[in-house]
Amino acid sequence: MHQLALFDAGESVLVEDERGRIEYVPHFVPPSLAQAWFVELRSAVGWEAGRRWMYDREVDVPRLTAHFDLGQGEPDGRPPAAVRAAAGRVATRTRVPFNSVGLNLYRDGRDSVAAHNDHLDELAPGFPIALVSLGATRRMTIRAKEPPRRVLNVDLEGGSLLVMSYETQQHYTHGVPKTAERVGERISLAFRVRPASVASAGGARNGRYR
DNA sequence: CCGGGTCACACGGG
DNA sequence: ACCCGTGTGACCCG
């Protein structure tokens, strides 16, 4: 089948048990397209440098961020074309009605995201998270919260897709640690289905997908 | 979810 | 083979 070849990217299932399912798909996006998306997003997105109050002091968020709602947005607040294209490609493969995408720009090895799991209140129950990576490869560390404490190190390559099931967020943490290695810029697009109570008016749906 | 502190250990030059 | 400084990352804490 033709259509199959388009998506046959040597995917591998990293986790599949009662604690969740994690699938990694290298070359989900052809290299030249992934590169074009990276270039567009790097310059077209209004990247924000956040600061957060953590414990006793205010600190920089160690990466740049942006966010878009998907679905029938106003023509004005429409996401960049590369985001819409990526969303379409992800939706075609996963069949999940994602309505939100969070973008992260890791400028170099000093940028990072600490180990965490996505907040379940901001995730529609049962729906997975899909993560598209562009640009430089960064390592993600995924570890089970309870014994057996499996630890996975996944090198997220440009053009890859990582899909983590909803249950994964209950049983695992994930993060992108700082590294002293010299690494180039990486952009990630994290697709989520946010519950109607959280998502902005419009896109949310319920039921019948997995 | 963050940076800083502590500690263990791999590595390599002398 | 050994010593030891340095780099790197794992873990812990508020």
CA/C1' separation A177–C5 (Å)? 26
A108 CA vs C4 C1’ separation (Å) = 32
Residue A59, CA: closest nucleotide via C1'?
A: B2
Q: Is A108 helix (H, G, I), strand (E, B) or coil?
A: coil
- In this complex, the answer to whether residue A61 has its CB under 7 A from any atom of chain B, a nucleic strand, is yes
What is the dotted CATH code of the domain comprising A2-200?
Answer: 2.60.120.590
**β pairing state of A151-156 and A12-17:** unpaired
SS (H, E, C) A68-89: EECCCCCCCCCCCHHHHHHHHH
Asked whether residue A57, judged by its CB, lies under 7 Å from any atom of the DNA or RNA strand B, the reply is no
Neighbours of A99 (CB within 10 A): 24
Among A145, A148, A125, A94, which Cα is nearest to A197's?
A125
Please identify which residue in the block is written with the tokens 């994964």.
A168
Tokens of residue A44, six digits? 């077209």
Confidence category of residue A11, pLDDT binned at 50, 70, 90: confident
Over residues A101-117, the mean pLDDT reads: 98
- Going by pLDDT thresholds of 50, 70 and 90, the confidence category of residue A198 is low
Give chain A residues 111-170 with Cβ within 7 A of strand B.
112-114, 116, 118-119
User: Could you say which nucleotides of strand C lie within 7 A of any protein CB atom?
Assistant: 7-10, 14
Q: Residue A86 has what pLDDT?
A: 98
Q: Is the pLDDT of residue A120 over 60?
A: yes
Distance CA A27, CA A10 (A): 8
Cα-only R_g, chain A: 17
CB of A174 lies under 7 Å from some atom of strand B: no
**A2 membership: H or E segment, kind and range:** helix A2-7
Most confident of A75-89, A170-184, A190-204: A170-184
